[in-house]
Structure 1
Amino acid sequence: MDLTLVGVGKKVGSQTWLYDMSLQPCSGAVTVLLGATQAGKTSLMRIMAGLDAPSHGDVKVNGCSVVGVPVRKRNVSMVYQQFINYPSMTVRDNIASPMKLGGEKNIAQRVNVLAEKLHIEMFLDRYPSELSGGQQQRVALARALAKGAPLMLLDEPLVNLDYKLREELRDELSALFAEGESTVIYATTEPGEALLLGGYTAVMDQGELLQYGPTAEVFQKPKSLRVARAFSDPPMNLLAASVVAAGVQLKGGPLLAMALPATSSGKLTVGMRASALRVHFQEGDVALPGKVELAEISGSDTFVHVDSLVGDLVAQLTGVHYFELGAQVSLYLSPDQIYIFDEQGMMLLAPVRGGGR
């Protein structure tokens, strides 16, 4: 399916839910809508599905406008945060229902394959009321995948699952999406989920589309601070700096010897991802000494909060590490992993942006 949004916007009363945006998701691939709660992701997906009409702009499928075409006349499948299943049907019949409507063959075999991949094969003869919330959500996912619709919309489908299962299903879903031919739109608040799913990412914030392009490119070269904030978890470390003859001078800290575009001048904002900071020196690193204010272990990572000479910093270290509060520590990072924005954060100055859409 070739889906195109042209100048789409949405107003409800005096409130603007979606500002004018144009977007053409890559056909047959995954496009992630990434943004915080109330960024506009669900509103945009409802317009794509035909559940809501835009206040202005056009939605085209294969070059033809579908604004006003009801959702029942569109070949679309959608999974919400809150699972929706047929309560009077077993899990087996729930998954099989779209295939039966489509007159498919080998239904039983396909149901078993999907159930196994989503870890619900042992529940096929149960009813939704006999399952946990996470299990019911997996049934809804299986049914959406079984439909094989050319457009599949998933609105934070894993948010109600436990951490371990989310990690497993992300890998499974990536494989299932790759096997199919559907255009997949996947909404999430988690930058890590966008990176794992790959494909393309559209970063949204407060109803605006900020940047769209290949996921790795958007992550590596966010065009503004708003994009960098939305695509960083934990939040990107931001420091004040200024342009000097030899490069970039951090306020109260070291000089970063790096070239900037000739148009840049005056004050700057320097961004450092928490995952780029280390406690072990490597050749060419910049050192940022300070003292430990807090060290917390989360999953397989340790987050170290440091009061440094350039300001408060958070480092994300792989593995379990122990630090005494108040201990002196130096954080290190490579200049290649530093982001330079203008003072207002409206433009990325370094690294130079690529050609993301």
Structure 2
Amino acid sequence: MSLVAQSLCLRSDAEYHLNDVCFEMSKGEIYTIIGRTLAGKTTLLKTIAGLIGPDSGDLTLDGRDFGRIPVWKREVAMVYQQFINYPHLNVYENVAFPLKQRGMARSEIRTRAMKALSQVGLGGFENRKIQALSGGQQQRVALARSLVKEANIVLLDEPLVNLDYKLREQLREEFKNIFSAKASENSILIYSSTDPVEAMQLGGQILVMDEGRILQQASAKEVYENPSTTKVSQITNDPAMNLFEGTVAEGKIILSSQIQLDLPQHCRTLPYGNYTFGLRAAEITLDASGFPFTVELSEISGSETFLHLKHEHIHVVGLLDSVQNFNTGETVTAKFDTTHLYSFANDGRLKSSPYGGMK
């Protein structure tokens, strides 16, 4: 089974919600659509579900025109951001509801509903009222109600975004196991998120989306190691990858009159000229052998500290793996680990990567 989109477009007035979207998705795989708010993720999921029709383009399932299949006949299940459950029904009744609507035999309904509840860790909760559940448990009920349909395609629209941080971390790992099991049943699972960490943890294939376009589709490992453009590097990292302008000349990367870096091995075939360079926050640390920067902001996040630094026109964020206090305007010396440096052409395309060499 394969789901194929070719040149899907949807616009409202002069604004594109989907802009020449193309992809191919195969059964037994997990796909994560990652993008910032208003990138078009929800619109794309609703288009697949049949809730929205594209202005142009084709969507096919195993070669059949998926767009011509009525919504109620599509083997598609969807989980939304909000906990959409029926408050007057208990947990079991919520999960069994879509099967009852199909007129299935009571014994089959019970078998499938109890299996779905077990999959999401709610075995023994079937008689609980929805109001008696925590937010995370309510989202599990919504997920179980989608899984119980045994649909060919399962869509999940940022299902963890409204949960607290600790619960999101817990459910990410549990969801990954659930999704892997579901994918092994030859379903296509499509998960949307704004969170790069979430996308990488789920693994599988990643589709990076921005302003209605798919910028890159590849494995999670490939997207992390070789982001195709500066835009992809920003979307798939938290904090966003540091980008700064520089010139390659005489074996050096010249960022300013004071900051000149030795060309790392993977950048030595770059022709002389101007580039945009990228470096993740973890590769910028404090070191006495580094370059002078002014602290613009110091952020403590758990056991880590993010330092927003400035040197002339260069603005970067560094990561310290400990809690430290700095004053705004304080001068520190920061070191760039160029073994992890990326270079991009003036049009934003990847030129060299510490993992993939020249592009």
TM-score, normalization by structure 1? 0.87
Aligned counterparts of 2:12 and 2:329: Cα–Cα separation in 1 = 51
- The answer to whether residue 2 in structure 2 is matched with residue 2 in structure 1 is yes
Instruction: State the 1:113 CA deviation.
Output: 1.3
Helix, strand or coil at the partner of 1:287: strand
Take 2:46 and 2:162, find their aligned partners in 1: how far apart are those partners? 20
Q: Which residue of 1 aligns with 2:305?
A: 302
CA drift of 1:105 comes to 6.0
Q: Which residue of 2 aligns with 1:147?
A: 149
Aligned AA (1:21): V
Q: Does structure 1 residue 114 correspond to structure 2 residue 126? A: no
Correspondence 1:315-354 to 2 at 5 A: 315-345=318-348, 347-351=349-353
Deviations 1:165-215 (A, max 9, x none): 100000001011111232111111111111111111111111111111111
SS at match of 2:16: strand
Listed as ranges, the matches of 1:226-305 within 5 Å are 226-252=231-257, 253-258=259-264, 260=267, 264-279=271-286, 287-305=290-308
- Closer, same or farther: CA 115–215 of 1 in aligned 2, 3 Å: closer
SS in 2 for 1:147: coil
Residue 165 of structure 1 is matched in structure 2 by: 167
Residue 185 of structure 1 aligns to which amino acid in structure 2? I
Larger deviation, residues 307-316 vs 185-194: 307-316
The verdict on how the C-alpha distance between 1:65 and 1:261 changes in structure 2, with shifts beyond 3 A counting, is: farther
- Give the counterpart letter for 2:153 in structure 1: L
Contact 2:37 2:194 in 1 (8 A): yes
Shift of 1:241: 0.3
Structure 1 pair 104/127, CA: closer, same or farther in 2 (3 Å)?
closer
Distance in 1 of aligned mates of 2:272 and 2:58: 41
How far apart are 1:305 and its partner, in Å? Answer: 1.9
Corresponding residue for residue 205 of structure 2? 200
Distance 1:112 1:96 in 2: 10
Aligned to 1:278, the other structure's residue is in SS state: strand
* AA aligned opposite 1:171: E
User: Which residue type is aligned with residue 287 of structure 1?
Assistant: G
Following superposition of structure 1 onto structure 2, how do residues 70-219 of structure 1 map, counting pairs within 5 Å? 70-98=70-98, 101=102, 103=108, 106-107=111-112, 109-116=114-121, 120=122, 123-131=125-133, 133-180=135-182, 181=185, 182-219=187-224
Q: Secondary structure at the match of 2:286?
A: coil
Using the TM superposition, give the Cα deviation of residue 98 of structure 1 relative to its aligned residue in structure 2, in angstroms: 4.2
Q: Out of 224-233 and 90-99, give the one that drifted further.
A: 90-99
Give the partner amino acid of 1:161.
Answer: L
Q: What does the per-residue CA deviation read over 1:74-122, in whole Å, with 9 as the maximum and x for residues that have no partner? A: 1111011122222332112212334565635634642541352xxx557
Q: Is contact 1:242–1:251 with CA below 8 Å preserved after alignment?
A: no
| 1:27 counterpart residue number | 27
Q: What's the % identity of the aligned pairs?
A: 39
Query: Residue deviations 1:111-168, cap 9 Å, x none?
Result: 541352xxx5575323334545544323212211232212110000001111111000
Cα distance between partner residues in 2 of 1:21 and 1:231: 19
**Aligned residue type for 1:246:** G
SS of residue matched to 1:194: helix
RMSD: 2.6
Give the deviation of 1:31 after TM superposition.
0.8
The one-letter amino acid of 2:118's match is V
State whether residues 117 and 141 of structure 2, in contact with CA within 8 Å, keep that contact through their aligned partners in structure 1.
no
Rounded to whole Å, the distance in 2 between the matches of 1:295 and 1:122 is 47
Partners of 1:256 and 1:174 lie apart in 2 by: 41
3-state SS of paired residue (2:173)? helix
| CA displacement 1:4-28 (0-9 Å, x = unmatched) | 1111111234432111121012421
In structure 2, what is the Cα distance between the partners aligned to 1:49 and 1:121? Answer: 29
CA distance in 2: counterparts of 1:94 and 1:108, whole angstroms? 9
TM-score by length of 2: 0.87
The one-letter code of the counterpart of 2:285 is R
Which amino acid is the alignment partner of residue 2 of structure 2?
Answer: D
Q: Which residue of 1 aligns with 2:229?
A: 224
Letter in 1 for 2:175: L
Contact 2:16 2:211 in 1 (8 A): no
Q: When the two structures are aligned, how many residues end up with a matched partner?
A: 347
Q: Is the 8 Å Cα contact of residues 288 and 332 (structure 1) preserved in structure 2?
A: yes
